[in-house]
Amino acid sequence: MKNTINILITIIMTAGLVGCNNSEDKRGNGGQGGLATNAAEKVYVAPGDHDEFYAFFSGGYSGNLTVYGLPSGRMFKEIPVFSQFATSGYGYSEETKPMLNTSFGFVPWDDSHHPDISQTNGKLDGRWIFINGNNTPRIARIDLETFETEEIIEIPNSAGNHSSSFITENTEYVVAGTRFSVPVPQRDMSIKDYKGNFKGAISFLSVDQDTGRMDIKFQLMMPGFNYDLSHPGRDKSHGWFFFTTYNTEEANTLLEVNASQNDKDFIAAVNWKLIEEYVNNGGGTKMPAEYAHNVYDHDTHAATSTMKKEVLTVDPTKVPGAVYFLPTPKSPHGVDVDPTGEYIIGNGKLSADLTVHSFTKMIDAIEKKNFDGEAYGIPILKFDDVLAGTVKQGGLGPLHTEFDGKGNAYTTFFISSEVVKWKLGTWEVLDRQPVFYSVGHGMIPGGNSREPFGKYFVAMNKITKDRYLPTGPELEHSAQLFDITGDKMELLLDFPTHGEPHYAAGIPADIIKNNSKKFYKLAENKHEHATITDADARVERKGNEVHVYMTMIRSHFNPDNIEGIKVGDKVYFHVTNHEQDFDVPHGFAMIGANNSELLIMPGQTKTLLWEPKKVGVWPFYCTDFCSALHQEMQGYIRVSPASSNIELSW
């Protein structure tokens, strides 16, 4: 057993090199005689034309979300979520700083992995997109009219918020599962006492259907395994949620070896409807827990952060029938449910085969109470009772599976660096294509819904090596676009991605593009420091705080000369953009300000804090080229010594 593990580990460690040495067929044309002009035509979006799909890529360690067009592979936007973003001043402006507040204080960075788009009746509806922060456990909701982060909620009792942020088919819940089990509540205890004492919290966040507001409805306190990924049941399995586990050995050191002892770990099947009912009837235990809930309001153009004090926890053994374990070979990473809701696919990352469980068989086995013992009071179903089939010779190191809605599944293999297309039900391998190199997730637009749009498959590769012009030791990751409308997948395009996109979510552009916000109405601006008419532009002093109520329009600021500011003052520039037109932002930058600039959209107010340190006359200017007279859009602040008694004037 140990030998097998060591061999697998060696293979895993050399995986990158396998790709690199594969120099014969670097173009990835699968021997089809060069990338056809056909491929170029298929990805060509003529100037002025629009792409057919939006694709939202997680940023991994960039903490953000990037927006691409498919099939062109053009990047349109980076949406700041968990990380400060100088381009727009997100996390720097006074209005957006509260978004990054946590119970640990201001945490302006995270590691974002899995975006998922809201659904109604199992179909993409394009209202919101959710994404997880892995490091300091958080879930964010981004509004798809404004493409702005509207809400971030911290997840207490969690660490490594990885089996997140997947949603149920009416967006009833967004799920956040912990990868690292931890002491609950957190306390000072010996790490050696991990086994049996740490807990794995799986949180179900309810989503208000009008506002999108999230709230932690309950936390299921699972045994101390690692909950790696999750997937909602859908259609016939709607009401269930599936989670992969690894480290059911509960090792606390050298997991590489110690968590690979068991031949099988589990997929945990959670009947959330049953738990919801239990909780609605007063079940569960409230426990103290501190976590931040941050909400951005598009009327006030500002965020507020509230610290919550309590969370409702549920012990799974107190709700009979709520949780079962499905034995699944070889440290499964991804778990994916097909569009019919029948097949639950475990991607055992140390395996060559894929294990597919049957939802129908699972329900039968549960009814017959045919169990194979239990783990911490949770019944374990018999492997053979729930097995639907095995996909043989799949490749090596399966990670994630997507669906085209036509009965086919596409699994990514990290070690053998390929995508394998196979048939649901017959488990027959239909096609395999190399990717360059070492793919993580794949994505088919709508692949997480009942109705996938099975036209393209995007492979998100971890290793780029020779695919682009070299840019020093660090290269951007590479995505590859395949046409999957034929029997064989056809590679169309390579394009670079930003940060580390673990996963992506795609949606037909038609569903959201016509709702996209053009600008904010100035008359509806409810910012507490908005300056709606030029006559209200002014400067006010309160002790050493100075508030500048400033307006901007092509191509000047009002006021643009201010005197009477002193060293030691805290100057708040509340700047309102008076433009009322699509795509006319102005910027505001102040010399020596250590918190980036502001980029202010038409109708919006944003605030920059400046603490002048030096006496002098200091310029500020607009940072966004906005008109032929953009270079004229500037002003001066006179800063006098702290002892001066010059009056404010503007």
- The contact set with ligand CUA (CB under 6 A) reads 555, 586, 622, 624-626, 630, 633
| Contacts to ligand K7E from residues 190-209, by CB under 6 A | none
Residue type, 523: A
- Residue 223 and residue 206 in contact, taking contact as beta carbons nearer than 8 Å: no
Question: Among residues 432, 441, 527, 578, which is the contact residue for ligand K7E, using CB under 6 A?
Answer: 441
Question: Among residues 227, 359, 427, 503, which is the contact residue for ligand K7E, using CB under 6 A?
Answer: 503
114 binds, among ligand CUA, ligand K7E, none (CB under 5 to 8 A by kind): ligand K7E
Identity of the residue, 249 or 624, whose beta carbon is nearer to ligand CUA in the bound complex: 624
Determine the size of the site formed for ligand K7E (CB under 6 A): 11
622 binds, among ligand CUA, ligand K7E, none (CB under 5 to 8 A by kind): ligand CUA
CB of 601 to ligand K7E, least distance (A): 32
Element (H, E) at 526: none
Identity of the residue, 245 or 623, whose beta carbon is nearer to ligand CUA in the bound complex: 623
Residue-by-residue DSSP string for 593-616: -SS--EEE-TT-EEEEEE---S-E
- Residue 82 and residue 138 in contact, taking contact as beta carbons nearer than 8 Å: yes
Assess 231 for contact with ligand K7E (CB under 6 A).
Answer: no
Identity of the residue, 97 or 400, whose beta carbon is nearer to ligand K7E in the bound complex: 400
Q: What's the rounded Cα separation, in Å, for the pair 84 and 107? A: 9
Reduced to 3 states (helix: H, G, I; strand: E, B; else coil), residue 574 is strand
Site string for ligand K7E, 572-591 (x = CB under 6 A): --------------------
| Contacts to ligand K7E from residues 152-191, by CB under 6 A | 162
503 binds, among ligand K7E, ligand CUA, none (CB under 5 to 8 A by kind): ligand K7E
Identity of the residue, 296 or 503, whose beta carbon is nearer to ligand K7E in the bound complex: 503
Residue that is written with structure tokens 């509340």 in the block: 574
Q: What's the rounded Cα separation, in Å, for the pair 364 and 357? A: 12
Burial of 323 (C-beta count, 10 Å sphere; 0-12/13-18/19+): buried
99 binds, among ligand CUA, ligand K7E, none (CB under 5 to 8 A by kind): none
Element (H, E) at 38: helix 37-43
Reduced to 3 states (helix: H, G, I; strand: E, B; else coil), residue 285 is strand
Assess 502 for contact with ligand K7E (CB under 6 A).
Answer: yes
502 binds, among ligand K7E, ligand CUA, none (CB under 5 to 8 A by kind): ligand K7E
Identity of the residue, 113 or 566, whose beta carbon is nearer to ligand K7E in the bound complex: 113
Assess 269 for contact with ligand K7E (CB under 6 A).
Answer: no
Cα dihedral 490, 493, 499, 505 in deg (nearest 10): -50
Which residue has its beta carbon closest to ligand K7E? 440
Element (H, E) at 119: strand 116-120
Residue type, 142: I
What is the greatest pairwise CA distance in the chain? 87
Nearest to 360 by CA among 427, 425, 264: 425
Q: What's the rounded Cα separation, in Å, for the pair 133 and 61? A: 10
457 binds, among ligand CUA, ligand K7E, none (CB under 5 to 8 A by kind): none
630 binds, among ligand K7E, ligand CUA, none (CB under 5 to 8 A by kind): ligand CUA
626 binds, among ligand K7E, ligand CUA, none (CB under 5 to 8 A by kind): ligand CUA
Question: Among residues 113, 301, 465, 574, which is the contact residue for ligand K7E, using CB under 6 A?
Answer: 113
Identity of the residue, 65 or 633, whose beta carbon is nearer to ligand CUA in the bound complex: 633
Residue type, 113: H
Handedness of CA 30, 32, 37, 38 (dihedral sign): negative
Reduced to 3 states (helix: H, G, I; strand: E, B; else coil), residue 203 is strand
Question: Among residues 399, 420, 599, 622, which is the contact residue for ligand K7E, using CB under 6 A?
Answer: 399
Q: What's the rounded Cα separation, in Å, for the pair 352 and 354? A: 7
162 binds, among ligand CUA, ligand K7E, none (CB under 5 to 8 A by kind): ligand K7E
Question: Among residues 316, 394, 440, 446, which is the contact residue for ligand K7E, using CB under 6 A?
Answer: 440
Reduced to 3 states (helix: H, G, I; strand: E, B; else coil), residue 552 is strand
Nearest to 261 by CA among 6, 574, 77, 627: 6
CB of 586 to ligand CUA, least distance (A): 4
CB of 556 to ligand CUA, least distance (A): 9
For the record, the structure tokens of 429 come out as 């391998």
- Residue 78 and residue 66 in contact, taking contact as beta carbons nearer than 8 Å: yes
Assess 114 for contact with ligand K7E (CB under 6 A).
Answer: yes
Identity of the residue, 83 or 577, whose beta carbon is nearer to ligand CUA in the bound complex: 577
Residue numbers at the binding site for ligand K7E (CB under 6 A): 113-114, 162, 229, 333, 399-400, 440-441, 502-503
